[in-house]
């Protein structure tokens, strides 16, 4: 048992604390931008918010990925939004300032004589850093940031055997959830080993939580646990969908790491997902889940679903059998169970009577460590707010 006071309660409800996180955590790290399939051919582009910076990622005519701060060098207007294709130049819609894909400012149309004496070369788009790791595109607002390989190197050998690039994302499979909870509540729930056997007693009981191995590797969190014996014994038959790795693997199980800050992976036996937590406000977050599965035909999926139906029918149960299935605790859906709990927790934070109780020494250690990680970054700025 440990006390759970790693962060002040303001960390979960206060807008100044939220702004400090945006500035000193999310603007200062590698941000998840998408899957490699999002930018396939020259001219494809994608914009992404990386903390306070908006970044545009472009595939140029040579097939290289380039990233710039998505701002015209004139008044700062955002040049592009969303994603698209066929980009040959970037033109600001405000005054038509135009840039090459290399970021170079081409011309100052129509008003050239109003800008005499300016150094055009100083007005190229500001570069950002971009890279690919594990089938995902990542950006960093600082072009001279630490490399992607250095950033993820420590956790690389703690991940699943999944060949992410060879898996496919099926049409309309993206899940977007707006959750009324602080982003850290969602992270803490994700890395909380203690609740797996309780809240998810009927929904994640095909994994052996007693044999879970987890812990922080630098700022990233690793998590692995095996399948239960009855599931693994006939895995080929019991898997709900075609397996995404060889069933003869000696450390067969699930890898569910949380990359810093707030990018979870769920590397399972039949699927691979990225669980991207985006802070919206102190008490609101958006979670975007993108899932890839084996590149097999409909028939394979149908066969697998038929062969495994009896196993899953017996295995999966709602938390409360008496609840309507429209209620998260009657849904038998672990993600709905988690969202419900995160929102219920957030509701209590404004109560004058709220306080964290004792925390489990083993199963909740990751929560305390994550809180410490955040506090170490934010504390100097938070404390200095009192000095005026």
Site of tokens 């600082």: 142
Is 338 one of the binding residues for Fe ion (CB under 5 A)? yes
21 binds Fe ion (CB under 5 A): no
Q: How far is the CB of 346 from Fe ion (least distance, A)?
A: 15
- The DSSP 8-state label assigned to residue 67 in this structure reads E
Query: Strands 83-84, 45-50: parallel, antiparallel or unpaired by DSSP?
Result: antiparallel
* Shorter beta-carbon distance to Fe ion: residue 186 or 243: 186
User: Least distance (Å) from Fe ion to the CB of residue 212?
Assistant: 13
The least distance separating Fe ion from the CB of residue 96, rounded to whole angstroms, comes to 51
Nearer Cβ to Fe ion (89/347): 347
Q: Which residues pair with 133 in a beta bridge?
A: 136
| 370 closest CA partner among 359, 357, 381, 380 | 359
CA 250 to chain centre: 28
| Contact stretch for Fe ion (CB under 5 A) within 61-69, 144-152, 246-254, 334-342 | 334-342
Q: Which residue, 348 or 376, is less far from Fe ion as judged by CB?
A: 348
**Closest distance between Fe ion and the C-beta of residue 385, in Å?**
34
Size of the site for Fe ion (CB under 5 A): 1
**Inter-residue contact 2 to 358 (CB < 8 Å):** yes
> Closest distance between Fe ion and the C-beta of residue 214, in Å?
14
- Structure tokens of 16? 């100044």
- Reading phi first (left if > 0) and then psi (alpha if -120 to 50, else beta), residue 116 is in beta
Judged by DSSP in three states, 309 sits in helix
CB of 340 to Fe ion, least distance (A): 10
Token pair belonging to 181: 């909870």
Point out which span in 24-32, 98-106, 180-188, 332-340 binds Fe ion (CB under 5 A): 332-340
Quick one: which segment of 64-72, 169-177, 213-221, 336-344 binds Fe ion (CB under 5 A)? 336-344
**Rounded to an integer, what distance in angstroms lies between the CA atom of residue 150 and that of residue 208?**
32
Give the integer Cα–Cα distance in Å for 360 and 215: 14
Count the neighbouring beta carbons within 10 Å of the beta carbon of residue 17. Answer: 22
Q: Is 225 in the site for Fe ion (CB under 5 A)?
A: no
Please provide the distance, in angstroms rounded to a whole number, between the alpha carbons at the two ends of the chain. Answer: 39
At closest approach, how far in Å is the CB of 348 from Fe ion? Answer: 18
Stretch of 14-22, 115-123, 303-311, 330-338 lying at the interface with Fe ion (CB under 5 A): 330-338
Choose the stretch contacting Fe ion; rule: CB under 5 A; options: 114-122, 229-237, 240-248, 333-341: 333-341
Q: In whole angstroms, how far apart are CA 121 and each of 91, 101, 103, 111, 142?
A: 17, 15, 10, 17, 20
CB 202, min distance to Fe ion, A: 12
Whole-Å CA distances, 244 to 254, 324, 365 = 11, 34, 31
Number of neighbours of residue 73 by Cβ within 10 angstroms: 19
Pick 197 or 377: Cβ nearer Fe ion: 197
225 versus 338: smaller Cβ distance to Fe ion: 338
From residue 134 to residue 153, the character string flagging contacts with Fe ion as x (rule: CB under 5 A) and all else as - is --------------------
Residues that bind Fe ion (CB under 5 A): 338
């Amino acid at each position: 048992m440990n006390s759970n006071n790693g962060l002040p309660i303001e960390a979960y409800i206060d807008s100044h604390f939220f702004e400090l996180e945006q500035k000193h955590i999310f603007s200062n790290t590698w941000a998840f931008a998408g899957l490699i399939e999002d930018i396939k051919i020259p001219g494809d582009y994608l914009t992404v918010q990386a903390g306070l910076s908006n970044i545009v990622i472009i595939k140029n005519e040579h097939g290289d990925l380039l990233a710039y701060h998505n701002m015209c060098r004139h008044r700062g207007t955002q040049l592009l939004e969303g994603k698209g294709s066929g980009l040959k130049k970037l033109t600001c819609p405000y005054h038509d300032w135009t840039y090459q894909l290399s970021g170079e400012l081409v011309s100052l149309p129509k008003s050239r004589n109003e800008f005499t004496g300016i150094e055009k070369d100083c007005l190229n788009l500001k570069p950002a850093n971009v890279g690919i790791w594990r089938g995902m595109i990542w950006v960093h607002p600082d072009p001279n940031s630490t490399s992607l390989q250095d950033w993820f190197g420590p956790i690389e050998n703690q991940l699943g055997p999944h060949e992410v690039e060879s898996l496919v994302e099926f049409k309309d499979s993206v899940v977007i959830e707006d959750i009324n909870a602080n982003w850290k509540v969602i992270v803490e729930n994700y890395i909380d080993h203690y609740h797996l056997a309780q809240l998810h007693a009927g929904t994640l009981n095909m994994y052996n939580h007693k044999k879970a191995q987890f812990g922080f590797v630098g700022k990233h969190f690793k998590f692995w646990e095996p399948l239960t014996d009855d599931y693994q014994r006939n895995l080929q038959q019991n898997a709900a969908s075609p397996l995404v790795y060889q069933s003869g693997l000696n450390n067969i199980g699930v890898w569910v790491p949380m990359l810093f800050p707030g990018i979870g992976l769920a590397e399972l036996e039949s699927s691979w997902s990225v669980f991207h937590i985006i802070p919206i406000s102190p008490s609101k977050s958006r979670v975007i889940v993108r899932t890839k599965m084996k590149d097999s035909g409909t028939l394979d999926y149908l066969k697998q679903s038929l062969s495994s139906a009896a196993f899953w029918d017996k295995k999966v149960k709602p938390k409360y059998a008496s609840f309507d299935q429209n209620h998260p605790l009657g849904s038998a859906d672990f993600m709905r169970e988690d969202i419900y709990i995160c929102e219920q927790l957030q509701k209590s934070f404004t109560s004058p009577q709220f306080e964290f109780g004792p925390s489990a020494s083993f199963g909740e250690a990751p929560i305390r460590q994550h809180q410490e990680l955040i506090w170490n970054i934010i504390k100097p700025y938070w404390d200095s707010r009192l000095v005026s």
